[in-house]
Structure 1
Amino acid sequence: MSTDAERDPEWPGATHVPADELARRQGVEPVAGLEQLARPELFESDDELDRFLADLYASRRDGVILARAVTDSVCDQGGAGQRR
């Protein structure tokens, strides 16, 4: 894996920097354990957490449905990457 910045051909003018290089530059350390990520105070109640999760799952379902609709539309038009 390269640690030097490279030009990204898909984004003219943009420089691709590998994740390990970005972490090194920013002084980021690996997570030693899950307890470092825990934030018990994030939600004020179980009900608030339940509403958040319900909204999260609904938005993910909507995203999957949208992606399928776009893919089907492209396939119906005879585009590349046909699913059928």
Structure 2
Amino acid sequence: MVLEFETPKYLKVIFYLKKRDDITDEYFHEYWKINHMKLALENKKFVDKVIRYNQLHASPELKKAAKIYKIPVLEYDGIAEVWVKDVE
């Protein structure tokens, strides 16, 4: 017996974020994690369209560890991954 599944069709959009120079790392990550998420969840279009949303935070400690171990890193402070059904 062979089971067949229909694979859902989603679009994954990735945003690379850099904080402004005039704010601290702590402020950027705290605001993005709490305030920005709250605003997104209060937005009906966001809630209706978005299937999945991930925030990947590049902390100063993570960047420092990467340099110590000679791991190349992109010069961004965070990445937002958004899965949507369509772009309309």
Q: Which has the higher strand share?
A: 2
Q: Which has the higher contact order (CA 8 A, sep 6+)?
A: 2
Q: Which has the higher helix share?
A: 1
Which structure would you say has the larger Rg? 1
Q: Same fold by TM-score, threshold 0.5 exceeded? A: no
What TM-score do you get using the length of structure 1 for normalisation? 0.25
